[in-house]
């Protein structure tokens, strides 16, 4: 979980490729293993779409570039500041990513 940033994702654009999980596990654990990723791809229980979640442990990317957003070639992930959260919540394309343990 990034300090002072909130993860949003676009379920229409997300293809389920898992590249974000692989990139995250590489920066966090030094290996390509989705089980070691902080960002987690799941299935939305109601919408039947992909659902991105984020674990509550700290993101190693800190304030720098996010490996997950950089590798997502369809622009389905965004981390936003507190100030941008209200506008993201009004935009129906974006869903707030749940925080999971
Ligand atoms: S968010 Fe992007 S990189 Fe991650 S699974 Fe979806 S399309 Fe792939
Ligand atoms: S910001 Fe970095 S540590 Fe956090 S989910 Fe994305 S790749 Fe993983």
Cα separation, 8 vs 26, whole angstroms: 21
- Domain tally, the chain: 1
Q: Is residue 61 situated within a structural domain?
A: yes
Nearest protein Cα to ligand 2, atom 8: 24
Is residue 32 situated within a structural domain? yes
Token digits of residue 73: 């070639």
Strands in 1-101 per DSSP E: 6-9, 39-43, 50-55, 77-80, 95-96, 99-100
How is the beta sheet containing 39-43 ordered, strand by strand? 39-43, 50-55, 99-100
Cβ atoms of residues 80 and 5 within 8 Å:
yes
- Give domain status of residue 11, yes or no: yes
Q: Is the pTM of this model over 0.85?
A: yes
Flag whether 79 is in a domain.
Answer: yes
Q: What is the pLDDT of residues 51-65, one digit of tens each?
A: 999 999 999 887 778
Residues flanking ligand 1, CB < 6 Å: 9, 14-20, 41, 52, 71-72, 74, 76-77
* Residue at 49 is within a domain: yes
Residue 1 lies in a domain: no
Range of the domain at 92: 6-100
Q: What does the pLDDT look like over 17-46, one tens digit per residue?
A: 999 999 999 999 999 999 999 999 999 888
């Amino acid at each position: 979980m990034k300090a002072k940033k909130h993860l949003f994702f676009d379920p229409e654009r997300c293809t389920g490729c898992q590249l974000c999980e692989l990139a995250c596990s590489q920066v966090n654990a030094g290996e390509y293993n989705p089980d070691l990723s902080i960002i987690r791809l799941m299935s939305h229980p109601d919408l039947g779409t992909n659902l991105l979640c984020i674990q509550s442990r700290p993101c190693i990317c800190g304030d720098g570039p996010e490996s997950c957003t950089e590798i997502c070639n369809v622009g389905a992930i965004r981390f936003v500041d507190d100030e941008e959260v209200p506008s993201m919540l009004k935009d129906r394309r974006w869903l707030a990513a749940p925080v999971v343990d």
